[in-house]
């Protein structure tokens, strides 16, 4: 093959899909190229907790055989994808980055995984994450941290740092993440990639291990907005196995991305959130964000300021709601039903086995949140903590509703800083929690949000992300505006931002 086998790992998912459909390349070649890339770099990046070379090649051969017979297949058939280790996938362990689930192999596929398979996509393996998706750096994984492909001494974001790093290190063209407070968007921002949190309820959560059920949402990680749209279209849509799944047509995100690439935003109103535009951002983040807004205006968008007065309370509310729900959801890991069991030697009571298994199985961040959440839900404190937080949540949603009465999308920087150093914040929970200050409001309100690359900060040369937010079930607006901004920035840079990452 002319391009050389590793060249295929540089192709977008869209390009791979078209080349596969035209039978210019085979799914086996594409899969082998990515498996070789993983073998070459993942000892340094550690994006994957488990790589399924055999399963991936078998899936690729099935696609190649179907194409050889002349079958018409979906566009992403034969395109590899990596899946965050919080989604159940038969045949492989699902650990959620926790010791307590070490070695547990789920007996069924999550709906997201089933849809990837139905689209003919090649599942490469499971990606690293903070334990039960609690964290902003992937350092809370029981299996060791993931490293940022831009600088291996830095965090790749979290909790879905493995999925973002897999995409950023050219180990997978696409990945699935989950976002409860920013875990798709924040890793995308600090790795120079694209990440989308779809509208709450847009993607089925059947088979997604629950962290905070009123916030959790799965979504795409990619290197381009168009690729994210293609994956979004595969995984979104109603599922009767998830009672929170929205029974309505999925907005046409692929068409929206195509329209956006025409780079004309005349008639689109963009809101700058005053409360997400303060002094709390690193200078390089501010500069790139301001420039991105100027680019949007240059594309014809009308930019106005909007106020969301309750956003300053969103982080505090989130860190009561999330631990409350997590403490309840994680009660199922009791050493009886799944994974690790400690002290089952006939000398301990069932209660003792449960206590020992949870003590040995959960890491410090999970324990911290289980205790906080249990406290917030306890009699006498419920109204003061959990109840108050729910009221703040309603006010945050009302702020968004008022903003969207004036504008089509709102924008902010995705993160306060670029990727920080491994170890820098791991012992300082408050500093870690602040990484998600700009992403959390969208989860509380259940709306759709995207992060895409805005350039590199002057002070450290690391990627900066810009966040777009749109009303629930208007995910297509993110793709239109995101693709337009991407087209303008890529024209300026001459290539995708990720192509500036130092070679691994």
**Active-site positions?**
84, 159, 183
Residue 436 found at the interface with ligand GLN (CB under 6 A): yes
Alpha-carbon distance of 479 to 476, in angstroms, equals: 5
Residue 296 found at the interface with ligand GLN (CB under 6 A): no
Residue 180 found at the interface with ligand GLN (CB under 6 A): yes
Edge to edge, the sheet with strand 48-51 lists 48-51, 122-127, 80-84, 174-178, 218-222, 194-197, 448-456, 463-470, 409-413, 269-273, 302-306
Among 26, 128, 146, 159, binds ligand GLN (CB under 6 A): 159
Nearer to ligand GLN by Cβ, of 28 and 134: the residue is 134
Residue 181 found at the interface with ligand GLN (CB under 6 A): yes
Report the nearest approach of ligand GLN to the CB of residue 210 (Å).
11
Alpha-carbon distance of 384 to 387, in angstroms, equals: 6
Report the nearest approach of ligand GLN to the CB of residue 434 (Å).
10
Give Cβ neighbours of residue 345 (< 8 Å, ≥ 6 apart). Answer: none
Strands 80-84 and 174-178: parallel
Nearer to ligand GLN by Cβ, of 261 and 326: the residue is 326
Give the range of 93-101, 175-183, 383-391, 399-407 binding ligand GLN by CB under 6 A.
Answer: 175-183
Residue 414 found at the interface with ligand GLN (CB under 6 A): no
Q: Which is nearest to 38 in space by CA: 77, 4, 2, 80?
A: 80
Report the nearest approach of ligand GLN to the CB of residue 250 (Å).
22
Q: Which is nearest to 7 in space by CA: 149, 16, 56?
A: 16
Give the range of 42-50, 134-142, 306-314, 415-423 binding ligand GLN by CB under 6 A.
Answer: 134-142
Strands 122-127 and 80-84: parallel
Cα pseudo-dihedral 105, 106, 111, 115, rounded to 10: 40
Q: Write out the binding residues for ligand GLN, residues 94-133 only, by CB under 6 A.
A: 133
Residue 419 found at the interface with ligand GLN (CB under 6 A): no
Among 141, 146, 163, 183, binds ligand GLN (CB under 6 A): 183
Backbone angles phi, psi at 320, to 5 degrees: -105, -45
Residue 179 found at the interface with ligand GLN (CB under 6 A): yes
Nearer to ligand GLN by Cβ, of 12 and 94: the residue is 94
Q: Which is nearest to 198 in space by CA: 485, 483, 471?
A: 471
Residue 463 found at the interface with ligand GLN (CB under 6 A): no
Among 322, 448, 449, 472, binds ligand GLN (CB under 6 A): 322
Contact 502, 150 (CB under 8 A): yes
Report the nearest approach of ligand GLN to the CB of residue 314 (Å).
12
Contact 208, 110 (CB under 8 A): yes
Q: Helix axis angle, 475-493 relative to 253-260, nearest 10°? A: 30
DSSP string, 237-291: S--TT-TTS--SPPP-HHHHHHHHTT---TT-EEEEEGGGSSS-S-HHHHHHHHH
The residue behind tokens 């089925």 is 204
Among 79, 83, 155, 211, binds ligand GLN (CB under 6 A): 211
Nearer to ligand GLN by Cβ, of 25 and 315: the residue is 315
Report the nearest approach of ligand GLN to the CB of residue 363 (Å).
13
Alpha-carbon distance of 410 to 469, in angstroms, equals: 5
Report the nearest approach of ligand GLN to the CB of residue 426 (Å).
12
Q: Considering CB under 6 A, how many residues would be counted as binding ligand GLN?
A: 13
Among 17, 80, 106, 135, binds ligand GLN (CB under 6 A): 135
Binding site for ligand GLN (CB under 6 A): 133-136, 159, 179-183, 211, 322, 436
């Amino acid at each position: 093959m002319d391009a050389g086998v590793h060249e295929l790992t540089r192709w977008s998912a869209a390009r791979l899909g078209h080349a596969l459909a035209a039978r210019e390349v085979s799914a086996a070649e594409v899969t082998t190229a990515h498996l070789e890339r993983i073998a070459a770099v993942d000892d340094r990046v550690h994006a994957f907790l488990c790589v399924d070379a055999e399963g991936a090649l078998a899936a690729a051969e099935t696609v190649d055989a179907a194409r050889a017979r002349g079958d018409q297949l979906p566009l992403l058939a034969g395109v590899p994808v990596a899946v965050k280790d919080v989604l159940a996938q038969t045949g492989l362990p699902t650990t959620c980055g926790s010791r307590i689930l070490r070695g547990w192999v789920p007996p069924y596929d999550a709906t997201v995984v089933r849809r990837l398979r139905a689209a003919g996509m090649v599942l490469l393996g499971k990606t690293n994450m903070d334990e039960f998706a609690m964290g902003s750096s992937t350092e809370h994984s029981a299996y060791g941290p993931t490293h940022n492909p831009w600088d291996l001494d830095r965090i790749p974001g979290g909790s879905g740092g493995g999925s973002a790093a897999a995409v950023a290190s050219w180990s997978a063209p696409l990945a699935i993440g989950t976002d409860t407070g920013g875990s798709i968007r924040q890793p995308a921002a600090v790795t120079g990639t694209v990440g989308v949190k779809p509208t709450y309820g847009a993607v089925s959560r059947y088979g997604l291990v629950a962290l905070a059920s009123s916030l959790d949402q799965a979504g795409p990680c990619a290197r381009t907005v168009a690729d994210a749209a293609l994956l979004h279209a595969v995984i979104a849509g109603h599922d009767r196995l998830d009672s929170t799944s929205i029974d309505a047509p999925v907005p046409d995100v692929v068409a929206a991305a195509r329209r956006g690439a025409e780079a004309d935003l005349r008639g689109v109103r963009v809101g700058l959130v005053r409360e997400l535009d303060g002094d709390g951002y690193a200078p390089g983040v501010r500069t790139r964000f301001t420039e991105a807004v100027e680019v949007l205006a240059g594309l014809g968008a009308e930019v106005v300021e909007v106020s969301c007065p309750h956003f300053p309370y969103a982080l505090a509310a989130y860190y009561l709601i999330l631990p409350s729900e997590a403490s309840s959801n994680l009660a199922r890991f009791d050493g009886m039903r799944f994974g690790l069991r400690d002290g089952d030697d006939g000398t301990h009571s069932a209660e003792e086995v449960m206590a020992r298994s949870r003590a040995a199985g959960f890491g410090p961040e999970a324990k911290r949140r289980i205790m906080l959440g249990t406290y917030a839900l306890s009699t006498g404190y419920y109204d003061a903590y959990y109840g108050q937080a729910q009221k703040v949540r309603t006010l945050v949603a009302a702020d968004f509703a008022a903003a969207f009465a004036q504008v089509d999308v709102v924008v902010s920087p995705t993160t306060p800083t670029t990727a920080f150093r491994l170890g820098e914040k791991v012992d300082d929970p408050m500093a870690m929690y602040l990484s998600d200050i700009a992403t959390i409001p969208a989860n509380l309100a259940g709306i759709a949000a995207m992060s895409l690359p805005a350039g590199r900060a002057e002070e450290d040369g690391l990627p900066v992300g810009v966040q777009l937010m749109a009303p629930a079930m208007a995910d297509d607006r993110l793709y239109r505006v995101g693709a337009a901004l991407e087209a303008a920035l890529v024209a300026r840079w001459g290539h995708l931002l990720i192509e500036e990452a130092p070679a691994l």
